[in-house]
Structure 1
Amino acid sequence: MAKQYSLAYLTVLGCPPDEMIEIAARAGYDFVSLRPIYMGLPGEPNYSLADNRDLMKKTKRALAETGVKLLDIELARIYDGVEPKRYLPSLEAAAELGGRHVLSSIWTDDRNLAIERFAELCDLAKPLGLTVELEFVPIASVRNLHGVLDILNAVKRENAGVMLDMHHFHRSGDKVEDLDQVPRDWFRFLHLCDAPAEIPASAEEMTRILREARLYIGEGGIDIAGIVNRLPEIPCSIELPNTKRSQELGYAEFARRCLESAKAYFAKQPRVEQVFLHSATPK
């Protein structure tokens, strides 16, 4: 089965969703991963589809005309003071567009609050046919695979899963063997990118790389094949922010090169089937 690829929002940071879909189609992506949840970051454009019906119509039309599908939306963060219900309009927009997943991460050190709010997010998403994938981020509160599994085992929601980012997995110091202990059906898609093998000593440098200086697949030092071969065959969302290259090349050419590097890398890698110790989500 051929790998399927999605164009993630951070790869073409600032690109409107309808334009992003057209770029993805021309480059040969199967999906897009959009950010309709406005985060209020400095300089961040607001592409809230729930609040902008004209943009919603353009996005829906672009999906229909190109045949590209919506893989997931981001980013339903869990942090102190957040009420997951604020994400509901964006979840409903994702469902209307045929989306499959919602990406989440945890930015509170209050474990009980994290469990409560993440469980609530899963419950809001379930009637809409959406799963919620928890991503660990090395600069967040839940920063490694152990932390994600702790939350998922506590919430016990069938529509909850784990989303691995190649950069974050490498930086966390987790071992590929640890992936064998994760229920197979908790993996639904992954984030693909590369980065230097050396882990930055400072949080500032790590943050800089993850936000604006990731590398084409196969260009850095992450054992991408070793990680991916421990997972089931799932879509690869290319999240590869590189400010310098995207500005020099433009959104369309940069997105194309990201995809071509991924295809070239995996064409050289033998697919190794792994034996998973768990195959079902605990009830």
Structure 2
Amino acid sequence: MTRVYSLAYLSSHRCTPPEAIRVAAANGYQFVGLRLWPNAPGAPQQFLLGKPDVLKETQAAMADTGVGIFDVEIIRIGEAFDPHTWDPLYNACAALKAKAILIAGDDTNEARLTQNYARLCEVMRPYGLTADLEFMPWTAVKDAKSALRVVQNAGSPANAGILVDALHFGRSTTTLDDIRAIPRELLHYAQICDAVAGTHFTVEEMIHTARCERLLPGDGSIDVQGLFDALPADLPVSVEVVNFEREKTAGPGEWAGICMAASRPFVEPRA
């Protein structure tokens, strides 16, 4: 069974959307992930919304290479939430034929968060997009059990999803049994990387690692092999390794190749 690979935004953060697509194509990826909405005001992103020339160039690169858009980032569900805030993002996803939008849950009122997640799924449904809720230990959705509880209490919408990131698996209380307990229909893709495992890190340390200093699979102490053995064998893999220091000595294309080579042994069938 051949794995499907996507080059995550954080692995190609130095690229524009069309550049990321061409880098992915040159290194054996079938998809890319894009960050078209920043994770905080003024934070890094790829600029495409409201730029028809960039959209057209991105679509041309997709047509030329056959590389598609898998996921687009990011929607954060906070206390004051209106799903229509992201209408421009949904429209861009439709134009790019994207499959999923990455969702973060920030509202500590879980009942309200759950209600807003259900609203979001309903708004996204006509666009053919899944709403993949990523558990992260510094957010209100801290582990896999929390993510599953939110999705199930939201009524398990048809386009609901749970995103498993190896980093957050290794730095939360999530167990392999918790991963196995996620219904198959909620899993659309998973993110691979490595780091020092543990639940003793401060919020600042966790965020720094996630955004600046992930390790290649095999270079840390997260049970990456166990995780991907517990996940479905046909699940698409988003290769998400950002490491500012390591990237100083490798261009975006070389880095994409390094990340792919390090990831394959953990997710390809073993003889």
With over 3 angstroms needed to count, the CA separation of the structure-2 counterparts of 1:270 and 1:173, relative to structure 1, is farther
The residue correspondences of 1:119-130 to structure 2 (distance < 5 A) are: 119-130=118-129
Which residue in the other structure is 2:114 paired with? 115
Unmatched runs of 5 consecutive residues or more in structure 2:
none
Which residue in the other structure is 1:256 paired with? 257
Q: Counterparts of 1:265 and 1:169 in 2: how far apart (Å)? A: 15
Which residue in the other structure is 2:22 paired with? 22
TM-score for the superposition, normalised by structure 2: 0.93
Q: Counterparts of 2:147 and 2:43 in 1: how far apart (Å)? A: 30
With over 3 angstroms needed to count, the CA separation of the structure-2 counterparts of 1:4 and 1:35, relative to structure 1, is same
Look up the SS of the partner of 1:222 in the other structure. coil
The residue correspondences of 1:76-95 to structure 2 (distance < 5 A) are: 76-95=75-94
1:243 shift after superposition: 0.9
TM-score for the superposition, normalised by structure 1: 0.90
Q: Give the aligned CA root-mean-square deviation in angstroms.
A: 1.7
Q: Counterparts of 1:236 and 1:97 in 2: how far apart (Å)? A: 19
Question: Which AA in structure 1 matches 2:197?
Answer: A
Which residue in the other structure is 1:185 paired with? 185
Look up the SS of the partner of 1:116 in the other structure. helix
For this pair of structures, how many residues does the alignment match? 269
1:56 shift after superposition: 0.6
The residue correspondences of 1:11-90 to structure 2 (distance < 5 A) are: 11-42=11-42, 44-45=44-45, 47=47, 49-90=48-89
Deviations along 1:158-183, one digit per CA (max 9) or x if unpaired, are 11011100000111121101223221
Q: Counterparts of 1:43 and 1:77 in 2: how far apart (Å)? A: 14
Deviations along 1:233-252, one digit per CA (max 9) or x if unpaired, are 21100111111112221211
- Say whether the 8 Å CA contact 2:170–2:198 is kept in structure 1: no
Which residue in the other structure is 1:279 paired with? none
Q: Counterparts of 1:250 and 1:199 in 2: how far apart (Å)? A: 33
Q: Counterparts of 1:111 and 1:265 in 2: how far apart (Å)? A: 34
- Say whether the 8 Å CA contact 2:16–2:46 is kept in structure 1: no
- Say whether the 8 Å CA contact 1:200–1:206 is kept in structure 2: no
Identity of aligned residues (%): 33
Deviations along 1:121-173, one digit per CA (max 9) or x if unpaired, are 11111111111111011111111111101110111211101110000011112
With over 3 angstroms needed to count, the CA separation of the structure-2 counterparts of 1:159 and 1:195, relative to structure 1, is same
Question: Which AA in structure 2 matches 1:90?
Answer: L
Question: Which AA in structure 1 matches 2:196?
Answer: P
The more displaced of 60-69 and 192-201 is 192-201
Q: Counterparts of 2:250 and 2:164 in 1: how far apart (Å)? A: 28
The residue correspondences of 1:196-275 to structure 2 (distance < 5 A) are: 196-232=196-232, 233-267=234-268, 270=270
With over 3 angstroms needed to count, the CA separation of the structure-2 counterparts of 1:45 and 1:36, relative to structure 1, is closer
Question: Which AA in structure 2 matches 1:20?
Answer: A
Q: Counterparts of 2:88 and 2:26 in 1: how far apart (Å)? A: 30
- Say whether the 8 Å CA contact 1:214–1:241 is kept in structure 2: yes
The more displaced of 187-196 and 202-211 is 202-211
Question: Which AA in structure 2 matches 1:172?
Answer: S
Deviations along 1:26-71, one digit per CA (max 9) or x if unpaired, are 1111110111124454452451x33111111111111111110111
- Say whether the 8 Å CA contact 1:199–1:206 is kept in structure 2: no
Unmatched runs of 5 consecutive residues or more in structure 1:
272-283
With over 3 angstroms needed to count, the CA separation of the structure-2 counterparts of 1:40 and 1:105, relative to structure 1, is closer
| Residue 159 (str. 1) matches residue 159 (str. 2) | yes
Deviations along 1:82-110, one digit per CA (max 9) or x if unpaired, are 31101122112112211111110101112
Q: Counterparts of 1:200 and 1:58 in 2: how far apart (Å)? A: 44
- Say whether the 8 Å CA contact 1:238–1:258 is kept in structure 2: yes
Which residue in the other structure is 1:274 paired with? none
